[in-house]
Amino acid sequence: MGDTTPGLVCGHHHLYSALARGMPAPPRTPSTFTEILEQIWWRLDVALDLEMIRWSAMLGALEALECGTTAIVDHHEGPSAIEGSLDVISQACAEVGVRVRCCYGVTDRHGPDGARRGLLENERFLRAGGAGMVGIHAAFTCTDETLEAAAGLARDLGAGVHVHVAEGEVDAGAPARLGHLVADDWIVAHGVHLPRPVPPKWAETTLAHCARSNMNNGVGYARPRSWPGRVVLGSDGIGADMLEEYRIAYVRAREHDVFTTPVEAWAWLEEGWTLVPESRSDRVRWSYDRADDPWCLAFTPGVRALDVWVDGAQVLASGAATRVDSAEVRARAAEQARRLFERL
């Protein structure tokens, strides 16, 4: 029995979406996953500039820290401000005191030049020593040439690929198109429509299971218990409260199979440490003296992070960030959100 754990890891995040809450309703109510992308996320990401990306990342990192999450595996998109964007995200997280693995989600949605610039941003950032992976948005928004180039770059740099795979039915062709490229150092986000049993090469990748996001987008259940490889939990941009993601992943699994235990869902959360091993040495002190007991945590609401140490330094003290002024971060982020909404 104890009130501390290592730092938690969000295995799939979109820090750029932290400003999205409160955005004006889209012109039409989206009725499919593709329409949700087109009418919400693809209108939002194209409107982002570097200043918005910076404060979005500051807010997302702050909120992660306040939830005891000390490491974020981020997947970024912002086609109007590609160059330097990964540095901006990486610096914002460092300022707050949260670890981050960055990538830029390459896509042909904005033509071959957009894809080329996205690839270059991944390469520039990684070659300069940045911590991260090569990002691909999703196979259904990329040409075969772009998929080959991104996978090849990841192979050359030994970085791995972070990619959305078969999140919705629209991307059900992804396993076939990526099958000759996939490698064991890839993070496969969602994987809802990947066939089961999972094809051999995919079985060696890491599935980032985003239970709440999948429910929110109505894309179906990813069946993480039938994934033979590693499973981690991701928020897909809906904050980084990983205790909450754990609870949702647990009840969603129970709905599908009532024999699932909290221990299995907790193991998914713990696998996050394989993505960012240093986070295992971070410490979180919680407002609950059974924070190391998955059975208790699954049914205890309102457990809060009180103190957090990252790399030996205290970055949260009695629930307050020590390196940044949380009120100022929220105010600046709100200011940038207003600018963003005006552009939509």
Using CB under 5 A, list all residues that contact Zn ion.
Answer: 236
Structure tokens at 219: 């894309």
Place of tokens 């200043």: 51
Q: Considering beta carbons, is residue 40 or 321 the nearer one to Zn ion?
A: 40
Q: Considering beta carbons, is residue 75 or 247 the nearer one to Zn ion?
A: 75
Residue 234 CA to its chain's centroid (Å) = 5
| Residue 213: partners with Cβ closer than 8 Å, 6 or more residues away | 190, 234, 235, 236, 237, 238
Closest residue (Cβ) to Zn ion?
Answer: 236
Distances (CA, A) of 248 to 13, 123, 145, 185, 332: 16, 35, 38, 26, 31
CA-only gyration radius of the chain, Å: 19
Q: Considering beta carbons, is residue 68 or 191 the nearer one to Zn ion?
A: 191
Q: Considering beta carbons, is residue 146 or 214 the nearer one to Zn ion?
A: 214
| Residue 206: partners with Cβ closer than 8 Å, 6 or more residues away | 11, 186, 187, 188, 229, 230, 231, 232, 271, 274, 275
Type of residue at 28: R
**Please, what is the minimum distance in Å from the beta carbon of residue 121 to Zn ion?**
18
Bridge partners (DSSP) of residue 100 are: 72
**Please, what is the minimum distance in Å from the beta carbon of residue 17 to Zn ion?**
9
Structure tokens at 161: 């690929």
**Please, what is the minimum distance in Å from the beta carbon of residue 236 to Zn ion?**
4
**Please, what is the minimum distance in Å from the beta carbon of residue 235 to Zn ion?**
9
**Please, what is the minimum distance in Å from the beta carbon of residue 14 to Zn ion?**
6
Q: Considering beta carbons, is residue 133 or 321 the nearer one to Zn ion?
A: 133
Residue 53 CA to its chain's centroid (Å) = 15
Residue 176 CA to its chain's centroid (Å) = 24
**Please, what is the minimum distance in Å from the beta carbon of residue 198 to Zn ion?**
19
Q: Considering beta carbons, is residue 219 or 297 the nearer one to Zn ion?
A: 219
**Please, what is the minimum distance in Å from the beta carbon of residue 117 to Zn ion?**
20
Q: Evaluate the omega torsion of the peptide bond into residue 197 and state whether it is cis, within 30 degrees of 0.
A: yes
Q: Considering beta carbons, is residue 163 or 310 the nearer one to Zn ion?
A: 163
**Please, what is the minimum distance in Å from the beta carbon of residue 315 to Zn ion?**
26
Q: Considering beta carbons, is residue 171 or 236 the nearer one to Zn ion?
A: 236
Alpha helices (H) in the chain, listed in sequence order: 33-36, 42-46, 50-66, 85-96, 111-127, 144-157, 174-178, 211-216, 242-256, 262-275, 294-297, 326-343
